[in-house]
Amino acid sequence: MEQVSTLAETVGVSAACEALGMPRSRWYRLRNAASASAGRPTAPSSAPRALSREERSEVRQVLNSERFQDAAPREVYATLLDEQT
């Protein structure tokens, strides 16, 4: 990528990529990825509203139960909501 950048200053990006056999799309993608990752803030370790490990396990058990094995998650949610569970 550095070679293309250096050569692009003289002959332009299109000609530099063609001379070095690199697709322009790859050069732009690499350039944008490098600049985006440099300024990206670090992600929090977990979302504040995320379910705990125990809650996720309980949800999986309910979704995989015989009663709901053929139901979509939204359908299960609506049913349980109607039942005030």
pTM over 0.85, yes/no: no
Residue 56 CA to residue 77 CA, distance in Å, equals: 14
Alpha helices in the chain (DSSP H): 2-11, 13-20, 24-39, 53-63, 73-82
Residue 80 CA to residue 57 CA, distance in Å, equals: 17
Return the domain boundaries, the chain. Answer: 2-39, 53-82
pLDDT tens digits for range 55-70: 999 999 999 999 998 9
More confident residue, 83 or 43: 83
pLDDT tens digits for range 2-21: 787 888 888 888 888 888 88
> Which position has the token pair 């690199």?
22
